[in-house]
Amino acid sequence: MSSYSGYTSPPPNYQRAPPRPTQHNTRSRAEQTSETEPLFPGREKKAGYLGHIKCITIASAVLFLGIISCTAVNMAYQNRNIVQWERNLERRKTYEQKRELEWDRQMEQKREEERIREQQWDVSQEQRERLGLYWDEPTPGRCTAYGVRDYHAQLLNAAPYHYNWLQPCEDMPVFIHGSMRTAGRCERIGNEIQGHWSIEGEAVCTPFFANWRDNGCIAPGSQLRLASARLDYVPSGENGLEFCGSTPHKFWDRTYPHPTTCAETNGDVWGYWEVEDPAC
């Protein structure tokens, strides 16, 4: 009796006990958990990826619009420069055309003046002779080179032509040494018009070298030998040094058109030739 004092056992429970979890239920719950829980991180990654793509797309669009805008501005600037350049070019062309027209007008005016002047002076020799134009007798002058002498004459009755004296002076020939010759040079001295002729083959203007000498080698190893000769029969009143530079001379079976140098010694003019000689 004492063992049951103060203690009462619970009443019996007749409800069905919950089923014990089996291995199949545990696996299904684990599979459900594994199928549902990873879905949320995947969605977050996909949303982040789409956000990045959207940002990149927007940035690319902005950059593309910026490039297009810069290109458009640059093209507009270039077009403006091209238009300005074309305007300047057109102005220059117009200016050059005006200059060419003015130049053509001036040249045409000059040509017309020349035609009028030529018509006034383009008359034949017979017409000039009828007008009284003729040359005075040519007078021999000084020798200007070896065998060359200057002749001069005055153009007479040329008073009406004083404002254009050069044309008749150059056109009218004169008879010298058996042939008709036109003046090689014309000049006006006061009221006189003078023509000049250079006549070749004048014997009086042909001095020659004499007293030829072999002066030996110029220097050892120079391969040059020096020869000299005195210039004789220089026309009276002429400069012997001027003649020396154009007077030929023949020696050692060779004709030399002129000396290498000329010099005056004790009143005589000497020519010097430097001739190649391997023996020197």
Mean pLDDT score, 246-274 = 94
Mean pLDDT score, 258-276 = 94
In this structure, of 7-11, 93-97, 129-133, 247-251, the range with the lowest mean pLDDT score is 7-11
pTM (two decimals):
0.48
Q: What is the pLDDT of residues 104-128, one digit of tens each?
A: 888 888 888 888 776 666 555 556 6
Structure tokens at 159: 């008073």
pLDDT value of residue 43: 56
Angular region, 205: left φ>0, alpha ψ -120 to 50, beta rest: alpha
Confidence of residue 65 (pLDDT cuts 50, 70, 90): confident
Q: Which residue has the higher pLDDT, 6 or 179?
A: 179
In this structure, of 63-67, 85-89, 123-127, 179-183, the range with the lowest mean pLDDT score is 123-127
pLDDT above 70 as % of the chain: 75
* Residue 236 burial by Cβ neighbours in a 10 Å radius (0-12, 13-18, 19+): exposed
Mean pLDDT score, 83-107 = 86
CA distance 177 to 154: 18
Decide if pLDDT at 2 tops 90. no
Angular region, 144: left φ>0, alpha ψ -120 to 50, beta rest: alpha
In this structure, of 46-55, 122-131, 145-154, the range with the lowest mean pLDDT score is 122-131
pLDDT above 90 as % of the chain: 35
Q: Which residue has the higher pLDDT, 119 or 228?
A: 228
Q: Where are the domains of the chain?
A: 58-131, 134-200, 208-276
- For residue 96, give Cα distances in angstroms to 87, 88, 111, 184: 14, 12, 22, 42
pLDDT value of residue 176: 92
Range from 84-98, 117-131, 144-158 that averages highest in pLDDT: 144-158
CA distance 21 to 56: 52
Mean pLDDT score, 19-24 = 50
Give yes or no for a contact between 251 and 269, defined as CB atoms under 8 angstroms apart: no
Q: Which residues contact 113 (CB under 8 A, 6 or more apart)?
A: none
What number of other Cβ atoms are within 10 A of residue 31's Cβ?
10
CA distance 25 to 33: 12
